[in-house]
Amino acid sequence: MLKEILLQVEKPARYIGNEINMVVKKPEKVDIRFAFCFPDVYEVGMSHLGLQILYYFLNRRDDTYCERVFAPWFDMEEKMRENNIPLFALETGDAVKKFDFVGFTLQYEMSYTNIINMLDLAGIPIWSKDRSENDPIIIAGGPCAYNPEPLADIIDMFYIGEGEVSYDELLDIYRENKKNGGTKEDFYEKALAVKGIYIPKFYDVEYNDDGTIKSFKPNNEKAPSVIRKVIVKDMDKAFYPDKQLVPLIETVHDRVTLEVFRGCIRGCRFCQAGYVYRPVREKSTDRLLKLADFLIENSGHEEISLTSLSTGDYRGFKELAEGLIEKYADNKISISLPSLRIDAFSLDLMEKVQAVRKSGLTFAPEAGTQRLRDVINKGITEDEILKGCRLAFDGGWTRVKLYFMVGLPTETDEDLMGIVHLSDAIVEKFFEIPKEERKGRPISVTVSSACFVPKPFTPFQWTAQSTVEEFMRKQRYVKHNITRKQVKYNYHEPELSSLEGVLARGDRRSARIIVRAWELGAKFDSWNELFKYDAWVQAFKDTGLSREFYANRERSYDEILPWDHISIGISKRFFIDEMEKAKAGQITPNCRRQCAHCGAASFGGGVCFE
């Protein structure tokens, strides 16, 4: 039956596993079966570094078999439902419902409907309270887990922080409990002692009449009132796989990925990742070069990429980049560089690694004026951008991509005009080059603007998001004022960002919106062509919940925020100070220039102690 179905769907290799370096174990020989679920299609999930790390991390335990599950694409889902085939794991093809753990990684809010859909396809009740002793334990982690509340009634337990730290302890407790005939309930109670574990049902929420939170309290004396994230202290000692799953079909990133460090020194005020992964913890260049060798040798890949939030900030960057070039230049292995601050060194580097074609240069000023860039603490100046462009134009580059956000706090039309002026200035910079030297090459500047989404654990967590109408007006304004034919303007449809805004700062009640939208057909929301905005609009109506309350309302500093019981190690005081500094247009230097005492030094490692 499965064969017949697989021959009827697009890209059947999405559902068969069997990749190079897939882990094969005998399920009956292990104590714990863990289904790692990525709530998006195979090609997206397989390009995700976290999956690769956790997969081998869990599978290094003899008592555990971690298998993978992805969201089946529409055609496959239809066939599965038609033929009563439940959601299955790729390695063994076994139904997910049989597993001990079903773990979701929460990478973006707009994948939440896929989680609901996958639970449903697996035959597992959607609401945590409806599950029985025979259902798997649903656990979730990843960046969106820092505000777990919108999924708190759906996910049984959350893992707050980096997987390498507490999973061993958690699984040991589970195995012991299972062996001793303990129930799931027994396990949950015991798991309360594990650092980084948040189990929503041990907490009660009360609300004020205006809908804000009145109180949030544990209802079990063993439940910690604050759950603090767990992170790896020493990246050189941390587990990192020496191989990688190599897909049989083309995926989004078909290459070896080398994680250089975690965290980011910059402190851009809109960026959640920049705060939740603090402090910066680097791997040594030696270790990275060694890892690169293993990964290349064990995968057969022809490309290696460096990933981290702002890879150019790595202290050993030059050494690492040159080391990789030296090793691999003759070896038919290409090196893909992250976007770098443009200077003579980086241009030279780019020249070396991308001999084939001069792809575009990328800048992310995020805001159009210096004033607004100071507000968001984006440490890049117009002068730097223009100088970088000139250098690049002289070196033969002619395509420039600029990334901005609209709807940032304190933004005025003047800031929007700044986007136009900056792109014009870049074009003019190009025409400063004497005509003979331009050799008839045309310049193109592509401006993209995303819609700003205020995120928990950033200084902007209290601010109101622009409404869909406001976003549209702002985009029209920019579009209208761009007149040079060399400048192209791309913008995102604001509806998706607006919903992301609701879910990012949602509370326990928000789950009803997600489930209702799913009932009305929403899934794969982050896939533009599949996004069903109407379903979401209807979901707000049907649940009586207000999107303005979540997205477009400014909060006061003393309001209890839905994620206040989670700690990323940065004090609320710091975020309040940052918000006030933002309003005053004051910048905060990066961690290496001057420590701002955010609180993350309490983890006892990384940049705070360099």
> Helix count (H) and strand count (E) of the chain?
21, 19
Which of other proteins, ligand SF4, none does 129 bind, CB closer than 5 to 8 A by kind?
none
The least CB distance from residue 588 to ligand SF4, in Å, is 8
Q: Is 524 exposed, middle or buried (0-12, 13-18, 19+ CB in 10 A)?
A: buried
Residue indicated by tokens 């303990």: 182
Among the residue ranges 87-95, 214-222, 480-488, 589-597, the one whose residues contact ligand SF4 (CB under 6 A): 589-597
Assess 568 for contact with ligand SF4 (CB under 6 A).
Answer: no
Among the residue ranges 121-129, 291-299, 546-554, 597-605, the one whose residues contact ligand SF4 (CB under 6 A): 597-605
Which of ligand SF4, other proteins, none does 22 bind, CB closer than 5 to 8 A by kind?
other proteins
Contacting ligand SF4 (CB under 6 A), which of 118, 121, 372, 600?
Answer: 600
CA–CA gap between residue 509 and residue 522 (Å, rounded): 18
Contacting ligand SF4 (CB under 6 A), which of 483, 598, 604, 605?
Answer: 598
- Count of other CB atoms within 10 angstroms of residue 395: 15
Assess 30 for contact with ligand SF4 (CB under 6 A).
Answer: no
Which of other proteins, ligand SF4, none does 598 bind, CB closer than 5 to 8 A by kind?
ligand SF4
Assess 309 for contact with ligand SF4 (CB under 6 A).
Answer: no
The least CB distance from residue 85 to other proteins, in Å, is 15
User: 52 or 128: whose CB is closer to other proteins?
Assistant: 52
Q: Is 329 exposed, middle or buried (0-12, 13-18, 19+ CB in 10 A)?
A: middle
Assess 607 for contact with ligand SF4 (CB under 6 A).
Answer: yes
Classify the phi-psi angles of 514: left when phi > 0, otherwise alpha if psi is within -120 to 50, otherwise beta: alpha
Which of other proteins, ligand SF4, none does 300 bind, CB closer than 5 to 8 A by kind?
other proteins
Angle at 494 between CA 490 and CA 500, to 5 degrees: 125
User: 93 or 123: whose CB is closer to other proteins?
Assistant: 93
Cross-strand partners of 487? 445
280: DSSP letter: P
Query: 163 with 57: CB under 8 angstroms?
Result: yes
Which of ligand SF4, other proteins, none does 353 bind, CB closer than 5 to 8 A by kind?
none
Q: Is 21 exposed, middle or buried (0-12, 13-18, 19+ CB in 10 A)?
A: middle
Contacting ligand SF4 (CB under 6 A), which of 289, 291, 537, 595?
Answer: 595
The least CB distance from residue 76 to other proteins, in Å, is 12
User: 231 or 551: whose CB is closer to ligand SF4?
Assistant: 231
Residue (of 71, 63, 56) closest to 105 by Cα position? 71
Residue indicated by tokens 């104590």: 31
Assess 459 for contact with ligand SF4 (CB under 6 A).
Answer: no
Cross-strand partners of 139? 103, 157
User: 18 or 183: whose CB is closer to other proteins?
Assistant: 18
Angle at 380 between CA 377 and CA 381, to 5 degrees: 115
**Residues within the interface to other proteins (CB under 8 A):** 3-4, 6-8, 12-13, 15-20, 22, 24, 246, 248-250, 297-302, 332, 356
SS3 of 213-279: the string is EEEEEECCCCCCCCEECECCCCCCCCCCCCCCCECCCCCCCCCEEEECEECCCCCCCCCHHHHHCCC
DSSP conformation letters of 385-408: HHHHHHHHHHTT--EEEEEEEES-
How many residues bind ligand SF4, per CB under 6 A?
A: 11
Assess 573 for contact with ligand SF4 (CB under 6 A).
Answer: no
Label residues 573-595 b or e (16+ Cβ within 10 Å = b).
ebbebbbebbeeeebbebbeeee
The least CB distance from residue 377 to ligand SF4, in Å, is 12
User: 129 or 332: whose CB is closer to other proteins?
Assistant: 332
Instruction: Please give the structure tokens belonging to residue 146.
Output: 């820092």
Query: 463 with 409: CB under 8 angstroms?
Result: yes
Residue (of 385, 402, 387) closest to 445 by Cα position? 402
Q: Is 394 exposed, middle or buried (0-12, 13-18, 19+ CB in 10 A)?
A: exposed
Mask for 249-278, x = binds ligand SF4 (CB under 6 A): -----------------------------x
CA–CA gap between residue 539 and residue 512 (Å, rounded): 8
The least CB distance from residue 194 to other proteins, in Å, is 36
Contacting ligand SF4 (CB under 6 A), which of 141, 279, 365, 562?
Answer: 279
User: 48 or 278: whose CB is closer to ligand SF4?
Assistant: 278
The least CB distance from residue 312 to ligand SF4, in Å, is 17
Assess 72 for contact with ligand SF4 (CB under 6 A).
Answer: no
Among the residue ranges 53-61, 366-374, 508-516, 599-607, the one whose residues contact ligand SF4 (CB under 6 A): 599-607
Which of other proteins, ligand SF4, none does 298 bind, CB closer than 5 to 8 A by kind?
other proteins
The least CB distance from residue 241 to other proteins, in Å, is 15
Q: Which residues make up the interface to ligand SF4 (CB under 6 A)?
A: 278-279, 591, 595-598, 600-601, 607-608
